[in-house]
Amino acid sequence: MFDGDKKTFMETVAGVLSVYGRDVTEAGLSLWWAACSRFTLPQVLQALRAHVADAQRGRFAPLPADVVAQINGLNAGDGRPDPEEAWAMSLRAADENETVVWTTEMAQAWQACKSVFDLGDKIGARMAYREAYARLVQQARDAQMSTQWMASLGWDERRRADVLREAVDAGRLRQSDYLALPASMTSVPLLAAPDNTPEPGGIPAHIREQLRALRERLTAPVERGPSRDELAKAETERRKAQADERVREYMERAGAVESDRLGTTAELPQGIPA
């Protein structure tokens, strides 16, 4: 509730208590406000009316705890499964092929116990799940959060369709939510475009042409340069050729010098050593 609801709330509480011949002090009303302010004013008013009309509890003046219990009892009809039903539904998540439709609290509770379940301790996992689920549901109800159903899709497409259809029939998923989920991967024939399908098959001619052009681009040979190994091999051959050329030049120069020396020796007069 908001501060603006405080006057109406306190007047209503005082009026209900007067039915039982009880007076309430300002300090007492402050305690009532502290205990009930986390709920909305309509919830509190409905809980007070329910308490007064109850054949058993209505014989006694209400306490703040009675109002909270009434609200929690009314919230029990918010569509959230009880812990045992929630556990049975969540067990499907152990099989990746199965699709699970569950509430936010069920999914969070499953994550809290999954490590224990994976170790093979099903009993311990169930206890951990129940404890976490009950705590999460209470927190959600205290915060006035509405029930949120969602789907965790499994790999089995046939089972997926059945589970989602059952959830829609049960009112847990809306038809629009169901249609928004990923479709089955099974092939579905395309609808033919009117006056634009000269060939059988249902695919318009301009679409076929675009697909053909795309296929040609994808299958066309790709021009590529030399690989790293080919470049390294070519560089080695180039250096080897350069070395061979230097050796050849050196040998030619050495041969020319030797020829000159021999020629000079031949021209020397006899008796004069070369």
| Higher pLDDT, residue 155 or 183 | 155
Contacts 24+ apart (CB under 8 A), 80-86: 80/105, 80/137, 80/140, 80/147, 81/106, 83/129, 83/130, 83/133, 83/134, 84/130, 86/129, 86/133
Other Cβ atoms within 10 Å of 191 Cβ, number: 8
Sorted by where each begins, the domain ranges of the chain are 3-75, 83-180, 190-219
| Residue 198: predicted pLDDT | 45
For residue 185, the SS3 value is: coil
pLDDT at 185: 45
Percent of the chain with pLDDT over 70: 74
Of 38-47, 113-122, 222-231, which has the strongest mean pLDDT? 113-122
236 — pLDDT class (breaks 50, 70, 90): confident
- Give how far Cα 216 sits from Cα of 212, 220, 221, Å: 6, 6, 10
pTM above 0.85, yes or no: no
Residue 134 has pLDDT above 80, yes or no: yes
